[in-house]
Amino acid sequence: MLENLKAAMADIARSRHYASLIHILGWQDMRHRYRRSFLGPFWLVASTAALVATICLILGPMFGLPPEQYVPYVAAGMIVWGLIVSMCTDSCQAFISQSTMIRQTAAPLFTYVARVAWRNTLLFAHNLVIFPVALWISGAHSNMNALLAVPGFLLVLANLAWIGLVLAILSARYRDLPKTIDSVIPVLMFMTPIMWKPEMMPLRIGVKILQFNPFYWMIDLVRVPMMGGIPPGKVWVGAAVVALVGWVVALILFARTRERIVYWL
């Protein structure tokens, strides 16, 4: 087991030598997805912006929240949630969709997970243009605390990387998992404070839902600084603990399955 664990860690470490390949393939994936379209990846921006506008126009008045509070809250939440969703769903296909390349090249397996992470980081960067527009429309303002969104984003990406690795492995072995993830994500969206605020929930129910929902911590790590606040220490600690425990689990799983993945494809 120890040798397998060392080999798994070496696989992840060697993937950094393929950074240029990851960069090129990530760009190609994005360009191929929106090939021959007029707006390109900004179609995703347009769809996210339309969803944010619809939520704010309908739910904002229902909740009785002022636009300068609710519009940036929803915009930032949806931008980060879009990254989480796309990373999870795309990671399910990270090995499956590249089965031919995996059989024919000696690139580390983690390279394909990193490719998915880079592609979705690029799409996340495109979606960020929505937030300043949301601030301007709602009359809200941010401040220098927004810089804390950078380390927050890096911690979110560290969590999504281990989640992506686990989903890629399990999806290669169990082909029903991608469909299961597609079915579970809409439920998780309503259980995560994206369109609603935690204080709107009954105290006991809200604590139970948010305490066991790491996506809530991930979103607030980026959303709170973007809105000019500072995430509470428990949010940083919670996300860091989830990242640490998650990577331990992911490494053990990767060590046990790395040599069998190619046969599952």
Output 204 or 192, whichever has higher pLDDT: 192
Point out the least confidently predicted range of 20-29, 47-56, 181-190, 215-224.
Answer: 20-29
Q: Can you give the pLDDT at residue 204?
A: 62
Q: Can you give the pLDDT at residue 4?
A: 77
The average pLDDT across 162-169 equals: 95
The average pLDDT across 88-111 equals: 88
Q: Can you give the pLDDT at residue 40?
A: 61
d(CA 6, CA 2): 6
Q: Can you give the pLDDT at residue 78?
A: 93
Alpha helix (H) residue ranges in 105-175: 110-127, 130-138, 149-173
- Give per-residue pLDDT as tens, 57-74: 888 888 888 888 899 999
d(CA 99, CA 54): 40
Q: Can you give the pLDDT at residue 36?
A: 59
- The structure tokens 């397996």 sit at 109
Output 11 or 205, whichever has higher pLDDT: 11
Q: Can you give the pLDDT at residue 162?
A: 95
Percent of all residues in the chain with a pLDDT value above 90, rounded to a whole number: 41
Q: Can you give the pLDDT at residue 21?
A: 81
Domain range list for the chain: 2-29+39-264
